[in-house]
Amino acid sequence: MDWKDKNILVTGAAGFIGTWLCKRLVKLGANVFGFDLESFHHPFLMQSIGLDTRTVSWMQGDLRDYDEVERVVAESEPEVVIHLGAQPLVTVGRRLPRYTIDTNVMGTTNLLEAVRIRMPTAKIVIASSDKAYGDKNPAPYKETMQVSGEYPYEVSKSCVDLIAQTYYHTYDLNVVISRCGNVFGGGDINWSRIIPHTLKSLYNNSLINIRSSGQLKRDYIYIEDVIEGYLLLAELGKKGEAYNFGYNCCYSVIEVMETVFKVMGKVAFYHIAHKTDQEISEQWLDASKAMNTLGWKPQHSLQTGLLPTIQWYEKYFSKGE
C-alpha cells in the first residue's frame, strides 16, 4: 500500500503501541490523526521513540462518548482506522470490570458505528488479544478456535472480536482483527508488566516482586514486529477475518526475568507472591496464517527484542523519570 497522503485514524495513539505506530505511519508519509483519552502528556516517551508530536493531528476524547467518536471520524475522514484504544491491563480489569467492559466493548462499538455512518468504505484494523481465546482452548491458539474469555479483561476482548465480526457480517464493513501476544519494547511504562517491572527494579536495586507463581506462560512479541503486522493487516487482511501475531512459543514469567538478567549480565533476586488466580496458565499463538497469507515474518526474538528495549529504559531512568 502507498501510505503517502492517506488519512489514517489511530485510536489509543498516545499509548505505548500507538506511539510506535504513529511514528511508522508518519515516516510512510500518511496524514495521521491520533485520538486518545489523554493528550500527549509525556512528550519524553514520544521523543525517545522518535515521534515528533507536531507530525500528528491530535484529537482528545473518550471512546465511551459516541458523539465525540463520531465527530473525530467525521473530521479526520480516514481511509484506514487502526483501533488500539482500550483499557489494556488484566489486573485493572479484575478491579474495575465495568470500566474495562465499557471502554473496550462500548468504545469499539461506538467506533464501528461512527465509521459505518460516516466513512463506511474505510478499512478498520481492530486490536483484539490472545486473551480473547480464554482458558478453554488449548495452546497454541489458532484463528479457527472460538473466542471464549471468562474473566473481565478476557471477556471484553472476546466481545470486541465478536462485535467487529458482527459489523462485517451485518453491514459489510471492511474489518480485520489482530490477536497479539504480550507486546514489549521501549515506551511501555505500565510497571505491573513483567519486563518494565523487572527493568525498573534492577535500575533501583530493589527486589523484584512476582505476583503469580512465576510459571504463567505467555507469547512475547517485540513492538516493531507488531507494528509491521498492523500495516500488513491494513493492506492485505481479508475483511471479517482474524490473524494471530506471535513467535509460536511461550516463556514463563521466571524465564523472561532470567533472560533479562542474562542480556544485562546481572544477578538479581525476586519474590514470588503466589497471589494471582483467575489468570490463564499458558497462552501462545500459532501465527502461520499471518505468515502464509500476509507475508508477515517477525524480525526479532525475545532475546534480540530485549536489547533495544533495555537501552530505551536505561535512557528513561537516567533522565530521572
Name all domains of the chain by residue range, CATH numbers in brackets: 7-184+220-249+284-300 (3.40.50.720)
Which one of the listed residues 133, 141, 151, 153 is annotated catalytic?
A: 153
Reading the chain (321 residues) residue by residue, the pLDDT tens digits are 899 999 999 999 999 999 999 999 999 999 999 999 976 657 778 888 999 989 999 999 999 999 999 999 999 999 999 999 999 999 999 999 999 999 999 999 999 999 999 999 999 999 999 999 998 889 999 999 999 999 999 999 999 999 999 999 999 999 999 999 999 999 999 999 999 999 999 898 888 888 888 888 999 999 999 999 999 999 999 999 999 999 999 999 999 999 999 999 887 788 888 776 667 889 999 999 999 999 999 999 999 999 999 999 999 998 765
Tell me the three cell numbers of residue 150.
Answer: 471468562
- For residue 161, which amino acid is it? D
The yes-or-no answer on residue 153 being catalytic is: yes
Tell me the three cell numbers of residue 214.
Answer: 512465576
Q: Give CA–CA dist 111/104, Å, rounded.
A: 11
- The runs of H, that is alpha helices, within the chain are 16-27, 43-49, 66-76, 90-95, 97-101, 107-118, 152-171, 194-203, 223-236, 253-264, 288-289, 302-318
Cβ atoms of 123 and 80 closer than 8 Å: yes
Q: List CB contacts of 92: < 8 A, sequence separation 6 or more.
A: 99, 100, 153
- For residue 63, which amino acid is it? L
- pTM score of the predicted model: 0.95
DSSP, res 218: E
